[in-house]
Amino acid sequence: MPAMLSKCRTIYHIPAKFIQSATKSSTLPPARAFEVAFAGRSNAGKSSTINRVCSQKNLARTSKTPGRTQLINFFALPDGCSLVDLPGYGYAKVPEKVKLQWQAFIKDYLTKRSTLRGLILVMDVRHPLTDFDRGFLYWAEQRKLPVHVLLNKADKLKRGQAASTFLQVRKAMQHSASDVTVQLFSAQSGQGLDKLWEHLEGWLGCNDEADEQ
Ligand code: GDP
């Protein structure tokens, strides 16, 4: 592993902080530093993944606080970059009109946010590529936003089954207009965390900064 990656990673061991929620484009924080967004169907393990990435048990619980589930939540990393938690609107019991408004907001954020560098799409390895996932992939393709797919809960499958799902999903992504990468992951055990960090660090520009030091 190159020295610059481990140097970088120590930055992120300092706790990330919840900074702000947004309900519509006009309440988004100013686009200043790079961001990576996390999306995932309800129960795929998006909150557990954000907590694992930031080595904090309850960080992403913020997003599950009643009243905040419909919001885009921003978590600041110590260097000013942000991790952005996108709502999983699919399962909430709200009127169709409200759902459509969220979708428009998320789509707007994904397709227009100038500082957004990539999307982490968390899937349950046992149920990959749902309609929800395909919706996000489609939006990412609109601006050729890179996507890194986490096949989470890999600990729930035998190694051979997990490997076979990995190959299937990677094949399905071959012709995407976006640069899509795929990996097995377990938010529970930490399997695959190093690989995930390599992507995050690449997107957030940390490697470049480390090069200059
Ligand atoms: P979210 O709704 O996508 O934010 O999902 P959560 O992070 O709340 O996780 C949903 C459930 O899946 C919880 O019971 C987690 O403990 C469990 N879970 C999340 N990640 C993993 C994993 O990697 N392995 C296993 N076995 N369970 C997980």
Does residue 2 surpass a pLDDT of 80?
Answer: no
The response to whether residue 21 sits with its C-beta less than 6 Å from ligand 1 reads no
pLDDT of residue 80: 87
Q: What pTM did the predictor assign?
A: 0.90
In the chain, how many H helices and how many E strands? 7, 7
pLDDT of residue 12: 56
- The answer for residues whose C-beta is within 8 angstroms of residue 7's C-beta and 6 or more apart is 210, 213
Task: Find the DSSP H helices in the chain.
Answer: 3-12, 46-53, 96-112, 131-142, 159-172, 193-203, 206-212
Tell me how far the alpha carbon of residue 46 lies from the centroid of ligand 1, in angstroms: 7
End-to-end CA distance of the chain: 18
The response to whether residue 87 sits with its C-beta less than 6 Å from ligand 1 reads no
14-45 pLDDT, tens digit per residue, is 578 888 889 888 999 999 899 999 999 988 99
pLDDT of residue 3: 38
Residue 176, judged by CB atoms within 10 A of its CB (0-12, 13-18, 19+), counts as middle
Atom of ligand 1 nearest to the CA of 42: 2
The response to whether residue 191 sits with its C-beta less than 6 Å from ligand 1 reads no
pLDDT of residue 62: 57
**CA diameter of the chain:** 52
Averaged confidence pLDDT in the chain: 86
Cα pseudo-dihedral 7, 11, 12, 14, rounded to 10: 140
Does residue 194 surpass a pLDDT of 90?
Answer: yes
Neighbours of 108 (CB within 10 A): 14
The response to whether residue 42 sits with its C-beta less than 6 Å from ligand 1 reads yes
Tell me how far the alpha carbon of residue 187 lies from the centroid of ligand 1, in angstroms: 7
Does residue 117 surpass a pLDDT of 70?
Answer: yes
Tell me how far the alpha carbon of residue 94 lies from the centroid of ligand 1, in angstroms: 23
pLDDT of residue 79: 84
3-state helix, strand, coil in the chain (%, to 5): 45, 20, 35
Among protein residues, the one with the nearest Cα to ligand 1's atom 6 is 45
